[in-house]
Amino acid sequence: MTTPLQHLFLCRPFEYGADITVHSASKYTTGQGLAIGGILVERKGLLEKLKENPRYAHFNEPDASYHGLVYVDVGLPPFTLRARLSLLRDIGAVSSPFNSWLFIQGLEHLSLRMKEHSKNAQAIAEFLESHPLVKKVNYPGLKSNSNYKNAQKYFKDGLSSGLLSFEVDNLEIATKVVNATQLYSLVVNIGDSKSIITHPASTTHQQLTQEELNACGVPAGMIRISAGLESTADLIADLKQALEQSWV
């Protein structure tokens, strides 16, 4: 299971059967997008599942590159051990000490920030869903969303993260909305303390044709928001004026 690290404070994958979680620490962890990194976490007791299991032969057979080391025989978490010895050794994907320090500082208040990110995103989603110029809102905290029941089951306290998207009629209107906002930063990152607005079809997915955009669920009129920690009323007011300007 792969997820931004913030979801550890909203959802606990190991309690629902996950064995390994891979997190993007670049989002939310520091609060300002200051460092690039990732975190791999192995659940307790995975050794018993892998040991002598024919599905996971590479953990039970000697590793020639480590003089015949058998990972399940060491007594340490086997998945993490193999990732560190075999994979990190070869590709060098190791966080710098300074980036690691930044992540540690951000973790101290990540749980508080995620609550506020989620509350702001919920309020924004509800506003957008009620706006006549918005065709569709994608946010699991809305009762109209197909994933609402799953969000209520797997996420804590009705919080569904700070990410949402909404759709307007076409590319022209979407571009006008994005450009008319004043509080939102127009960048493609997510998870910062500041609110971020992005038009995926012309940025992160610009290499795709119109048919490919529609096939992967990124229509030309879609706008993505990463709700920050600013005043909820101010964020909604900014979107309101941007939507109104787009139809002038």
- How far apart CA 154 and CA 161 sit, in angstroms, is 12
pLDDT recorded at residue 4 = 52
DSSP secondary-structure letter at 85? I
Q: Which amino acid is at 245?
A: Q
pLDDT digits (tens, 9 = 90+) for 157-187: 888 899 999 999 999 999 999 999 999 999 9
pLDDT digits (tens, 9 = 90+) for 139-152: 999 999 999 999 99
Tokens of 218: 């990124």
Q: How far is Cα of residue 61 from the mean position of the Cα atoms in its chain?
A: 35
pLDDT digits (tens, 9 = 90+) for 89-108: 888 888 899 999 999 999 99
Q: How much of the chain exceeds pLDDT 70, in percent?
A: 96
pTM score, whole prediction = 0.88
Q: Is 2-107 a domain of CATH 3.40.640.10?
A: yes
**What is the pLDDT confidence band of residue 247, given thresholds at 50, 70 and 90?**
confident
For residues 114-141, average pLDDT: 96
**What is the pLDDT confidence band of residue 2, given thresholds at 50, 70 and 90?**
very low
DSSP secondary-structure letter at 102? H
Q: Which amino acid is at 141?
A: G
pLDDT recorded at residue 17 = 92
The CATH architecture one would assign to domain 110-246 is Alpha-Beta Complex (3.90)
Query: Structural domain boundaries of the chain?
Result: 2-107, 110-246
pLDDT digits (tens, 9 = 90+) for 204-228: 898 888 889 888 889 999 999 999 9
- Residue 182 in 3-state DSSP? coil
Q: Which amino acid is at 178?
A: V
Closest CA to 248 of 179, 184, 173, 183: 173
pLDDT digits (tens, 9 = 90+) for 39-73: 889 999 999 999 999 999 999 999 998 899 999 99
> What mean pLDDT, rounded, does the chain reach?
91
